[in-house]
Structures are given as C-alpha cells and as structure tokens.
Amino acid sequence: MNVISQRHAVNASEEKIFASLSDCRNFEKFLPSEMKDVEVTAETCKFTIPGLTTLNLSIVEKTEFSKVAFQATNDKNIPINLIFHIIHEDNANNIEVEIDVDIPSFLATMVKKPLQNAVDMIAEKVPQAIENN
C-alpha cells in the first residue's frame, strides 16, 4: 500500500532541505512526541511506536536535492519504505512524504487512515524543523 502526504512549502533552499533530510540526527524533530526510545545517528534512526513495533530506519537512496529514501526493518517483518520528495515548482520548494508498506490487502483498510495521518503529520513538521534549524 502506498500513501502520499499533501505537499507543504518549505522556506529553505533545496540544498538545505536535502542536507536536513539526509542526516538522521534531524529525524527526531519530525516524529510525533509519542515515539519512545529514539536513537539516531547520521545514517540511521530507531524508535518505538508504543503498542505496535520498533522501527529501524536506514537511508537506502539519496538523489541530490530531490529525494531521500529510507527502508525500515521491524519485528513484524513488514517491509516499509519512507520517502521524502523535494519538489521545486513555481519558484518554491515543497516537501512530500510517501510511505510504501507491504501489507496484506485485508489489513489495508484498517491501516490506511493511520498511515495517511502519519505522513501528513511528518510533512507538516519537516518544514518547521528545517526552517527553525
């Protein structure tokens, strides 16, 4: 299942957005406050979603000034990809967050709304974190 956030404007250069997203030490600023046991390095981010799972995110792809992709491993063995798209259009920079989760179709209806809420919330937090950094 693939879920994409709404686009959000970021008042920063493509270079600054890319650099911020490419450094997992900034990732903690994008997460909801409910996340527990957050551990970050420059290339990885680990955190627990209370009552669900612990995710280990690693950067798997960087396309300069346009995309940073993470792959998540977890104890449920559910493949998850989290992708940040940097979109330059109309002389403005925007961010779009995408999550791709390989789950059985019978679970899709239960998790679609929480996933949509998660990517929308992250997409709202990213501009604030980058602009205030």
Query: Residue 27's domain is classified under what CATH number?
Result: 3.30.530.20
Whether the predicted pLDDT of 107 surpasses 90: no
Total of domains in the chain: 1
Please tell me what DSSP assigns to residue 1.
-
User: Can you state the percent helix, strand and coil of the chain, rounding each to 5?
Assistant: 30, 40, 25
Q: Which two tokens stand for residue 71?
A: 């792959």
Give the range of the structural domain holding residue 55, as residue numbers without chain letter.
2-131
- Report the pLDDT averaged over residues 110-127: 91
Mode of pairing for the β-strands spanning 2-4 and 92-101:
antiparallel
In angstroms, the Cα distances linking 7 to 79, 89, 95, 125 are 24, 11, 6, 12
Instruction: Name which residue leads in pLDDT, 133 or 67.
Output: 67
Here the contacts of 40-49 (C-beta below 8 Å, separation 24 or greater) are 45/70
- Report the pLDDT averaged over residues 3-22: 96
